[in-house]
Amino acid sequence: MRHIFHSTTSGSYAVVKKILAFFLIIALNGPLFSQNEDAFFLRDIYDTALTEGECYEWLRHLCQDIGPRLAGSPGAEAAVFSMQRLMDTLGFDTVYLQPCMAPRWDRGAPASGRIVNNEFLGTQPLNVIALGNTVGTGPDGITAPLVEVKSLEEVEILGEAGVAGKIVFFNRPMDPRLLNTFAAYGGAVDQRALGLVVAARYGARAVLVRSMTNKLDDVPHTGSVAVVDTVPKIPALSVSTNDAEQLSRLLGRGEVKVHLQSNGQLLPPVKTYNVIGEIRGTTHPEEIILVGGHLDSWDVGEGAHDDGTGIAHSLQVYPLLKKLGYRPQRTFRCVLFMNEENGLAGGRAYWAASNERNEFHLAAIESDRGGFTPRGFSAQGREDVFTDYYAKISTWLPLLEPYGLTFTTGGSGADISGLKSQGGLLMGFVPDAQRYFDFHHTPADVFEAVNKRELELGAASITAMVYLIDKYGLR
């Protein structure tokens, strides 16, 4: 690109001006006056986010002053109280902590791994990381032959004869053909979440899982493993994709024996908190619009895209509306959930309390897919109401498309999933997904991986959605 004056107008002022002019002309005839007003208001939201947004500095604080925030850790506690203090300055009616009891997992010293008996390579180190909620190997580690599988079903087929005494190596890659990398993740993560459970039943000594990423590199990705009390507790580790490829190549030539050492332990649950800010609605206070993300993160990296950006987005919504003089008609609630990563204790506590009080969440929006350029929202809801809601929000597409936003049906977010029974609309903020799994659950998920403009555009997009739902409802 050189100094040509580019006139491409995708998402640009020129397009927006054309749209504004269009609405202005229509408005003279009356019926669409409010859409005209809305087009201008959305433009104001984006302008304000891009020129006066504070979310990038809040994210910096969360990532760099506080750092990793696994539930129950000192970092998580610091984040709770620091975010409460920050929320106190944002103009909410009420800011409060909602207690919950979260599982506490401690990684201990970093895990290590190596190939020990390969005839071609001798001893070779492996890039491994202990998976969340798992037990350690003990100080001496485990040495055992590797058996490679591509699915849980393959373990069932191999049975005790094929698995007992071995380390089960789950090596089905995420499908690179899926443009939606979250769908690719969803198609592979059963190996990490449930591989241990299946392998332990047949007497495996440990589990080694290919990292959940499309990228071929040397960085192992952590993440949680389902805790099932009825199966033996065995260690589970993740291995980098490059090493997974290498192990698979070597297994093609003969037996591969691996040594793994890890030090995780589950400690007694600890009391921790969701952080909640609320502004009571002026005319429909009984209808709640929730925006949230999760405050906890894994214990490696800084939890920037997972889910510092969701926290920064959520915190920015009400200040943007306030700056623009908009007072919500419905009750707006900003919820920073605790323990999404390894237990969902915060989400569960929130649903329980909400259902007990017979609350109605008209809409809940979670941001938990990173802070990249906005592409839209996924939406889901109870069968009896969802079609009407989806039709209603679709009428807003002409207002949202200039900002690159569209709607899809599908999952919303783990922390809000339990609100579905209330009969409101559940949405997930959907940013560009190509880079997310380069960082997810790794030491690379740091503040510098987030782009300021992309983050601000996300906050503006969620605010636009909240504004439209608040102003028009969903019926």
Q: Measured on CA atoms in the order 210, 216, 218, 219, is the torsion positive or negative? A: negative
Mask for 375-394, x = binds its own copies (CB under 8 A): xx-x----------------
Q: Where does this chain touch its own copies (CB under 8 A) — which range of 88-96, 102-110, 386-394, 402-410?
A: 402-410
Mask for 120-159, x = binds its own copies (CB under 8 A): ----------------------------------------
Q: Are 419 and 364 in contact (CB under 8 A)?
A: yes
Q: Are 412 and 426 in contact (CB under 8 A)?
A: yes
Q: Give the single-character DSSP code of 173.
A: P
Question: Toward its own copies, which CB reaches closer, 353 or 414?
Answer: 414
Report the SS3 class of residue 24.
helix
Question: Toward its own copies, which CB reaches closer, 95 or 416?
Answer: 416
Report the SS3 class of residue 195.
helix
Window 191-230: residues binding its own copies (CB under 8 A): 192-193, 214-215, 223-224, 226
Tell me how far, at minimum, the Cβ of 49 lies from its own copies, in Å.
Answer: 9
Question: Toward its own copies, which CB reaches closer, 90 or 178?
Answer: 178
Question: Toward its own copies, which CB reaches closer, 253 or 453?
Answer: 453
Q: How far apart are CA 361 and CA 170, in angstroms?
A: 40
Q: How far apart are CA 286 and CA 265, in angstroms?
A: 43
For its own copies, the binding residue among 99, 203, 410, 423 (CB under 8 A) is 410
Tell me how far, at minimum, the Cβ of 126 lies from its own copies, in Å.
Answer: 23
Q: Are 299 and 224 in contact (CB under 8 A)?
A: no
Window 34-73: residues binding its own copies (CB under 8 A): 46-47, 50-51
What is the residue whose two structure tokens read 């989400």? Answer: 347
Does position 7 bind its own copies by CB under 8 A? Answer: yes
93 preceded by cis ω (within 30°)? no
Does position 176 bind its own copies by CB under 8 A? Answer: yes
Window 327-346: residues binding its own copies (CB under 8 A): 340-342, 344
Residue among 451, 175, 183, 186 at smallest CA distance from 305: 451
Question: Toward its own copies, which CB reaches closer, 169 or 437?
Answer: 437
Q: Where does this chain touch its own copies (CB under 8 A) — which range of 92-100, 109-117, 238-246, 370-378?
A: 370-378
For its own copies, the binding residue among 27, 178, 266, 270 (CB under 8 A) is 178
For its own copies, the binding residue among 94, 265, 355, 406 (CB under 8 A) is 406
What single letter denotes the amino acid at residue 131?
L
Q: How far apart are CA 223 and CA 51, in angstroms?
A: 36
Contact partners, residue 57, CB within 8 Å, separation at least 6: none
Window 240-279: residues binding its own copies (CB under 8 A): none
Q: Are 73 and 299 in contact (CB under 8 A)?
A: yes
For its own copies, the binding residue among 438, 447, 462, 467 (CB under 8 A) is 438
Q: Are 388 and 341 in contact (CB under 8 A)?
A: no
Q: How far apart are CA 389 and CA 377, in angstroms?
A: 13
For its own copies, the binding residue among 74, 394, 409, 448 (CB under 8 A) is 409
Window 441-460: residues binding its own copies (CB under 8 A): 451-454, 457
Structure tokens at 92: 């909410």
Burial classification of residue 84, based on how many CB atoms lie within 10 Å of its CB (0-12 exposed, 13-18 middle, 19 or more buried): middle
For 389, phi and psi rounded to 5 degrees?
A: -60, -45
Does position 440 bind its own copies by CB under 8 A? Answer: yes
Tell me how far, at minimum, the Cβ of 215 lies from its own copies, in Å.
Answer: 7
Report the SS3 class of residue 363.
strand
Question: Toward its own copies, which CB reaches closer, 192 or 205?
Answer: 192
Tell me how far, at minimum, the Cβ of 44 lies from its own copies, in Å.
Answer: 10
Q: Are 316 and 459 in contact (CB under 8 A)?
A: yes
Does position 99 bind its own copies by CB under 8 A? Answer: no
Mask for 350-369, x = binds its own copies (CB under 8 A): ------------------xx
